[in-house]
Chains A and B, each alone.
Chain A
Amino acid sequence: MTPSDEPSRARTAQRVLARREARIGLLFVLPAFIVFLAFRFGPAIASMALAFTDYTIGATPNWLGLENFRRMLDDPVFWSALKVTVMFTVMTVPVSLAMSVGMALLVRRAFRGVGLFRSIFFLPVVTSLVLAATVFTWIFSSNGPWSSLMGRLGLPEETWLGNPNLVLPALVVVAVWSRFGYGMLILLARLQDVPRELEEAALTDGANAWQRFRYIVFPQLRPALFFLAVIETTASFQVFDLVYVMTGGGPARASYTLVYELYEQGFRYFNLGYASAIGVALFVMTLVVALIQRWVIGRDR
């Protein structure tokens, strides 16, 4: 016999309800998704396409095939920018992580004034890099405190920003200053999870501070450190503000980074096609690093 109408009506009602819900769901997602398509997803695809053209302002783009990439491989400026970017990252990330760990350990326990110290160390994180750069330019100038300090330490009293070998370390100092508070905060949250009993037990077993850190605290921090390493690497790859304000890529291109080259090609000379190709290279680099890091973390597990 035919089944009664009731269930099918219920099913219809349900279907109507589901369709309504779907419509509402879509409508709610739509504003974000449209903006996203127009300004993130679309441009990401377009960036790939532009990289194969000679697009510039006020002219019809020509399809160049791989020409931009060939030019890039031939371009000493690109290679030097790549080298500078990698060197900056390789210097910044470990120093910044070490500072973060050290400071997190120092302000780990509750004591009077600890809140103030944490606030102080976090202050540079909320400060714009442009503002930091204006002050640090003076700090590093040859009449400034840094050169004078170096002189006291018996090193040449010169502006680090003017020495091709020292300009990156100078920028690393500023970058670390502006970022260690962030890592400190992330690690601080992790440190609260270290089981107190374990540390106490280790202490009673006669483990010294270093041993306790190495065998009890550090393993707890590991995942957070990896997370930080990824974030810091990505941020270092994209360093721009400091270079733009403090050095303009100089001296002798010793601080001329990939993003700075992208900016210069794109918005100073309006070689938008070539600039896009540099963007693609930057993307590939970020991807490779992310994959390596993922692989390392995966292996670790």
Chain B
Amino acid sequence: MRRRTTRLGALTVVSGLLLAACGGDDAATGDGGSGDTQEITMWMYPVIFDEADHSAFWDEQVAAFEADNPDIAVKVEIYPWANRDEALGTALAGGTAPDVVYLIPDQIPQYAHTLAPVDEYLDDTALAAYRPNAVESVSMDGQLLGAPILMSINPLVCNKAAFDDVGADYPESWDDLLALAPSFKDAGYDVTNYWGSVDATLNTSFYPLLWQAGGDVFTDDGSAVAFNSPAGVAALSLLVELADGGYVERDLLTTIPAFEQTNTAKGQIGCTWQQVPADLEPFWGEENIVVLPPLRQRESIAYGTVGALSIMADPGDAAADAAGRWVSYVSSEAVTSEYVVASGYFSPYALDDSLYADDTRYAEMETHLDAATAGTPHEHARQVMGLLAPEIQAALTGQKTPEAALADAENAAANLFD
């Protein structure tokens, strides 16, 4: 009998093990173990929209890098943009975080305590050749927490077909936009769009207006939120006026429909600062895309961001060293130039010759890079968006006045700053 019960016990253990074995490859990131080669993992996101092209790009870079660094094996994993902070946070919690990860400035502060400074891995000439605002936006307390590999900008993009149809001039300021709205509405167009869903980032939607009105999200010292200001009220009032007038697509204010279902994709809008030309080209046709300077209220300012590679391994670790060499290679002027052209973004380096000399629209966008802002990095940046976005919706749906909405958001955010 004893034997039987032991067998029963063994069965339980075995089934447990079987279950565990199903686990397969529990990401063997990090220390790479006993072998001679140091394995490192990098998380990327679909910067190049076509999955196959994107994988091919990295395969090529990994092959080139490994040829020069036979002691390092690099694995690039491409993840979706959606919910990437959740995925990264979960991985950190589970100890399966990557060694290198693609981050943008407003993500960096919340991961700062897990990031190794990258300055020491980059050579000085490369550091000096970066555009200053690229370096600045990924630095904290004088340390560079990511190596910039690309820059983006969201200028004002207008739809030539719509403007020809209405017979209007392109807008330069908020007032121009509001003045155009009724005639666009009469002709069956929305003058612009506003993506108000709480799942959409405010970086490309509300914050540019806030900055154009001279406001900011956080106070300079980062000790409180600053959006509840005359500038904030002006920005939100503009949106409320557009929403109340029926000048923007209603569904977009609160939900995210499939893009091809929207008036934006159907070409039934005038201008947008929330899509870039690459998004719109397949729908509008290249000939209808007009790139313009960002709208002006007090100043003309656009959202632009920096994509940087950050190192998550512990500094001094062998993995961190390998990661550093990889990051240094990938962030070089040559590799980034190839990458940004393939993805339709811009180089973080102050290049002598534009990469887009023969494309007027991209050349136009490139001239605005220095004027772009990625906002104030802050460890609560994403949480503040989570608090502010629903209040903006409240104002857009007529539940609250702009003043009350911003005050309520400020009030809710106070909890974060205890």
Contacts and interface: CB of A to CB of B under 8 A. Distances in A.
Is A in direct contact with B (CB under 8 Å) within the complex?
yes
Interface residues of A, number: 39
Contact of B250 (A27, A31, A74, A162): A162
Interface stretch (B29-37, B129-137, B202-210, B382-390): B382-390
Interface in B79-115: 85-86, 89-90, 92-93, 113-114
Contacts, number: 104
A71 B415 contact: yes
Interface stretch (B140-148, B151-159, B339-347, B392-400): B392-400
A269 B383 contact: yes
A135 to B, nearest CB: 12
A250 interface: yes
Contacts of A163: 397
Interface string A156-185: 001101111000000000000000000000
A76 interface: yes
A10 interface: no
B399 A248 contact: no
Contact of B261 (A141, A250, A267): A141
A24 B9 CA distance: 10
B386 A264 contact: yes
Contact of A162 (B9, B253, B382): B253
A8 B199 CA distance: 76
Given A27-B8, A164-B397, A251-B393, A159 B255 contact: yes
Interface in A123-169: 137, 141-143, 158-159, 161-164
A1 interface: no
Interface string B1-19: 1000100110010010000
A249 B251 contact: no
B408 A76 contact: yes
Interface in A240-269: 246-253, 256, 264, 267-269
A268 B383 CA distance: 9
Given A57-B92, A164-B394, A268 B199 contact: no
Contact of A267 (B89, B386, B397, B399): B89
> Which one of A141, A143, A250, A256 has the highest number of Cβ atoms from chain B below 10 Å of its Cβ?
A250
Interface string A31-73: 1000000000000000000000000011100000000000100
A24 B397 CA distance: 65
Contacts of A75: 412, 415
B390 A253 contact: yes
A278 to B, nearest CB: 13
Interface in A179-223: none
B386 A268 contact: yes
Given A30-B12, A142-B251, A269-B382, A162 B390 contact: no
Interface of A: 20, 23-24, 27-28, 30-31, 57-59, 71, 74-77, 137, 141-143, 158-159, 161-164, 246-253, 256, 264, 267-270
18 contacts: A27-B8, A57-B89, A71-B415, A76-B408, A76-B411, A161-B251, A162-B255, A162-B397, A164-B394, A248-B198, A250-B198, A250-B254, A251-B196, A251-B254, A267-B86, A267-B89, A267-B90, A268-B89
